[in-house]
Amino acid sequence: MSRYNVQANEAHWQQLWAERNSFAAKDDYTLPKYYVLSMFPYPSGRIHMGHVRNYTLSDVVARYKRAQGFNVLCPMGWDAFGLPAENAARDNKVHPAEWTYSNIATMRGELKRMGLAIDWSREFATCDETYYKQQQKLFIDFYRAGLVYRKESWVNWDPVDHTVLANEQVIDGRGWRSGALVEKRQLAQWFFKITACADDLLAALGTLDRWPDKVRLMQENWIGKSAGAKLRFALNGRSDSIEVFTTRPDTLFGASFIAVSANHPLAAELAAKNKALAAFIAECNRTGTSEAILETLEKQGFDTGLTVQHPFVPEQALPVYVANFVLMEYGTGAIFGCPAHDERDHDFATKYNLPIRPVVLADELDHDFAAAPYTGPGTLHNSAFLDGLSVEAAKQAAIAQLEKRKLGHGTIQYRLRDWGVSRQRYWGCPIPMIHCQACGVQPVPEQDLPVALPKDVSFDQPGSPLAHHPTWKQVNCPQCGQAATRETDTCDTFVDSSWYFARFCSPQLADKPVDKAAVDYWLPVDQYVGGVEHAILHLLYARYFTRAMHKTGHVKIDEPFAGLFTQGMICHESYKDENGKWLYPEEVEKQADGCAVHVKTRAPVSVGRVEVMSKSKKNVVPPARIIESYGADTARLFMLSDSPPERDLEWTEAGVGGAWRYINSLWRMVSEPKLPLPPLGTPRPDALGSRAEETRRTIHRTIAAISQDFERFHFNKAVAHARELSNALEPLDNAATGEAWVLREGLEVLAQLIGPMLPHVAEAMWAELGHTTPLCETRWPKAEASLLVNETVTIAVQVNGKLRATIMLPRDLPAKEAETQALQDAAVQRALGDSKPRKVIVVPNKIVNIVA
RNA sequence: GCGGGCAUGGCGGAACUGGUAGACGCACCGGACUUAAAAUCCGGAGCUGGCAACGGCGUGCCGGUUCGAUUCCGGCUGCCCGCACCA
């Protein structure tokens, strides 16, 4: 029995595709195009199973669309800047560039072994000077267009590493690496004005009909639009006022205090003369922003002794507190507290004995305001001109009155904040700006780009290596020529990934970020595939960046990704030894009794939950090993079968075995066919036996089914349909009735249908069947419409809703006749017994239900 | 706390707009081939009663609409995800 030689075959076809340049996207902009993109990988060192799943999914789409005649662009690149390279540099004394490019080389090799239909000629890494030079140009374009600005802002500061931390890098109030208590500090940072697009980013979500609802909803919540009012409270005994934002202007008459953030300018001003307040503010700033802390944190306030005037009741004075629960980053950093109708305000008022004044009453309910606030709908009371109005009407009326008295105005507030892109790191795109004492901030002149990273840097001391570099930042001001300094911050790596998809359209272009004709043709990406973990940040930033590139004349679209698919994660059982240490799957052997032992020591191993593969739990399987022993097709098949791609997938040895067996049986079907196959191109015999006819129906129904499965990303069903077709071809063994011809037709179609999923074995089958042109260059098969409908149909017959028989009837038989036939069935008669049918429901070609 | 999702055999899952629940596979059981094993091939199988023919029960739980509900509606329960002192 000949076995399919996976290694030789896969190498052969991969080489042939490369030689024939089979997957190059054509720069002929008159062809119908299809742009398939996977989220490009970070070159961490090795390909992991998540990559394999991601690229398999996009590869099926790419190959399917290519077979349909589209000019397909499916590129690959590297999201290559980032902190791990600096950590490697510090720990292993290897330069970040060397570490990164060597990882890229390894991973490129691993990816190529997957047999992906990628146009490798377009590959680049974001750390290539040619790429980040163009990014610097974009940065300057954005700066000139007023989309980029620099401002002082509060940041998470790690006092040990001397660096700013992203919110995600603060764990329980401590730096993720140093473990030091994170402080809040004010620092000058570069920002992209994403909030200016907030409303458009929100509204346009409605046009993204090929995005998962979940992702759109997450972005909607992230943008967090809320309508309300901004209003000023005049400070008693001073000439200034405090501005607050509220979504409940209707409850203004229930106000009993004002609270400002610990970082509010007024708090800072007062703290300068008040040590106790300064201590309180320091305490607030020390507390991290982590959820765990916030949940247990008590509301705390510091009475400033100041009071403000109520805007509608001037004689009423409200105390002003500095409070730990008011965020400087949202609204105006100050609120008015209405304890009767807000949970936090109620907590605060209870603690500090402030009045609770109910102003909204529900009609029927008797609410205990001392115990809890009331936040539902109702009618306004004790509120002067608002009395008797509903909450909604009162909001409008209050805003109208504020505007009339020039005390405030209706406004829209977003949760979304401007995108801070400054990072005090080395391995990133340098922000191309120069600080001049005389001229202020100046962009680097275009002819001086790129601002390249210096090679000679040290990672021994904490803080930014660029800032420590002895000479790099010294430069002359492009405006006045005097000595000036470079910006030493680099860009957040999310900037790099915000436009790479556009660069793939013209990756070698030297003088511009993108070629207009190329991006106008290729963009938007027709199908983007990646993990849900990027549902908010990356996808939102890329949407913003595209708008910014539109405004600066680089592209003419706003939405970069027309279709988005978010795949599930790969899971695996986890294992621990007797000492509670995690073990890799390859260190564990499952025994016949179901118990697991260590391969070497034979010590018992406890089998844990099936969890997302992660290095920390060691429940990972390196794809390279699977591909070496079973081949890329097996790995790909496993990824596609069983679990729908949006769901999590459990990696199991048994599942791999099943995939492997199917690959082999596919090869066997063509290499050792049950019947001698007629030569390629033999015309269909005039007379086919009934089994041959029936098999042809299955063949053509499968074409239709798999085509639809591919369109809908139902790859698990596509695999099932392919296997059904394989099973349907098995019984063909009668050469006299045209079955050999049908077998050939079935095998050819099968090879074509599995081609996008299992490209290597499909090519091997295709060649074995006598074809000389590679399968990947042939067109997708068409189903013969006449074979998609049956002349006879199986009708289910129910008695009182219970299935009692199935009968074969001619298609589209009149209801009356179907009814008669159904009633004559023996099983139906038995089920009816003595009772007479009272009513019969006939659904044509489907079901007859007899109600007795 | 707010927002969203999911729940089908031992397991992953299928069932298009309400119409034969369990396709396809994994694991399992039996048989063939083999000195033996592997590989391969054939067959079985939701649970349950029965030698069988045949019957009962079954899509997390309770209820509703319908001739008919995995599918629609209301109410629970359990898991999962996102956001969160957002004013």
Pairing of strands A241-246, A225-234: antiparallel
Q: How far is CA A323 from CA A257, A298, A307, A344, in A?
A: 11, 11, 15, 11
Q: Where are the beta strands (DSSP E) in A554-697?
A: 564-567, 570-576, 582-583, 588-590, 596-598, 604-612, 649-650
Least confident of A84-93, A442-451, A595-604, A836-845: A595-604
Q: Pull the structure tokens for residue A364.
A: 């029927």
Q: Is the distance from CB of A334 to CB of A241 less than 8 angstroms? A: no
User: Sorting pLDDT into bands at 50, 70 and 90, what band is A632?
Assistant: very high
Residue A848 has pLDDT above 50, yes or no: yes
Q: What is the pLDDT of residues A453-475, one digit of tens each?
A: 999 998 888 888 999 999 999 99
Average pLDDT over residues A623-635: 94
**Which pLDDT score is estimated for A543?**
96
User: Sorting pLDDT into bands at 50, 70 and 90, what band is A292?
Assistant: very low
Average pLDDT over residues A719-728: 95
**Which pLDDT score is estimated for A297?**
67
User: Sorting pLDDT into bands at 50, 70 and 90, what band is A836?
Assistant: confident
Percentage of chain A with pLDDT > 70? 96
Q: What is the pLDDT of residues A535-544, one digit of tens each?
A: 888 999 999 9
**Which pLDDT score is estimated for A169?**
66
**Which pLDDT score is estimated for A483?**
94
DSSP run (H or E) holding A794? strand A792-799
Least confident of A62-66, A193-197, A824-828: A824-828
**Closest nucleotide relative to residue A342's CA, C1' based:** B87
Residue A258 and residue A275: Cα distance in Å, rounded? 21
DSSP summary character for residue A561: B
Residue A615 and residue A256: Cα distance in Å, rounded? 53
Q: Pull the structure tokens for residue A317.
A: 């004075």
Average pLDDT over residues A440-463: 92
Whether any strand B atom is under 7 angstroms from the Cβ of A313: the reply reads no
Chain B positions with a protein C-beta closer than 7 Å: 3-5, 12-15, 19-21, 23-27, 39-42, 54-56, 67-69, 81-87
**Closest nucleotide relative to residue A849's CA, C1' based:** B67
Q: Is the distance from CB of A182 to CB of A175 less than 8 angstroms? A: yes
Residues 6+ apart with CB under 8 A from A510: A130
Percentage of chain A with pLDDT > 90? 69
**Closest nucleotide relative to residue A669's CA, C1' based:** B40
DSSP assignments along A507-536, one per residue = TT-SSSSS-HHHHHHHPSBSEEEEEGGGTT
User: Sorting pLDDT into bands at 50, 70 and 90, what band is A167?
Assistant: low
Whether any strand B atom is under 7 angstroms from the Cβ of A317: the reply reads no
Q: Is the distance from CB of A255 to CB of A336 less than 8 angstroms? A: yes
Q: Is the distance from CB of A661 to CB of A667 less than 8 angstroms? A: no
Whether any strand B atom is under 7 angstroms from the Cβ of A733: the reply reads no
Distance A693 CA to B33 C1' (A): 33
User: Sorting pLDDT into bands at 50, 70 and 90, what band is A2?
Assistant: low
Residue A296 and residue A104: Cα distance in Å, rounded? 45
Residue A432 has pLDDT above 80, yes or no: yes
Whether any strand B atom is under 7 angstroms from the Cβ of A166: the reply reads no
User: Sorting pLDDT into bands at 50, 70 and 90, what band is A365?
Assistant: low
Residue A332 has pLDDT above 80, yes or no: yes
Whether any strand B atom is under 7 angstroms from the Cβ of A534: the reply reads no
> Mean pLDDT in chain A?
91
DSSP β-bridge partners for residue A848 = A797, A842
CB atoms within 10 A of CB A317: 13
More confident residue, A125 or A155: A125
Residue A450 has pLDDT above 90, yes or no: yes
Q: Which residues of A739-762 are buried (b: 16+ CB within 10 A; e: fewer)?
A: bbbbbbbbbbbbbbbbbbbbbbbb
Residue A334 has pLDDT above 70, yes or no: yes
Residue A506 and residue A411: Cα distance in Å, rounded? 43
User: Sorting pLDDT into bands at 50, 70 and 90, what band is A99?
Assistant: very high
> Mapping DSSP to helix (H, G, I), strand (E, B) and coil, where does residue A73 land?
strand
pTM: 0.93
Pairing of strands A847-851, A792-799: parallel
Distance A653 CA to B26 C1' (A): 10
Average pLDDT over residues A300-324: 92
Distance A477 CA to B44 C1' (A): 84
Distance A665 CA to B34 C1' (A): 21
Average pLDDT over residues A589-617: 82
**Which pLDDT score is estimated for A1?**
41
- Rounded to 5°, the CA angle A392-A395-A401 comes to 145
Q: Is the distance from CB of A160 to CB of A175 less than 8 angstroms? A: yes
User: Sorting pLDDT into bands at 50, 70 and 90, what band is A291?
Assistant: very low
User: Sorting pLDDT into bands at 50, 70 and 90, what band is A616?
Assistant: confident
Residue A74 has pLDDT above 70, yes or no: yes
The residue written with tokens 């001397």 in the block is A162
**Which pLDDT score is estimated for A593?**
64
Distance A811 CA to B59 C1' (A): 30
Residue A286 has pLDDT above 90, yes or no: no
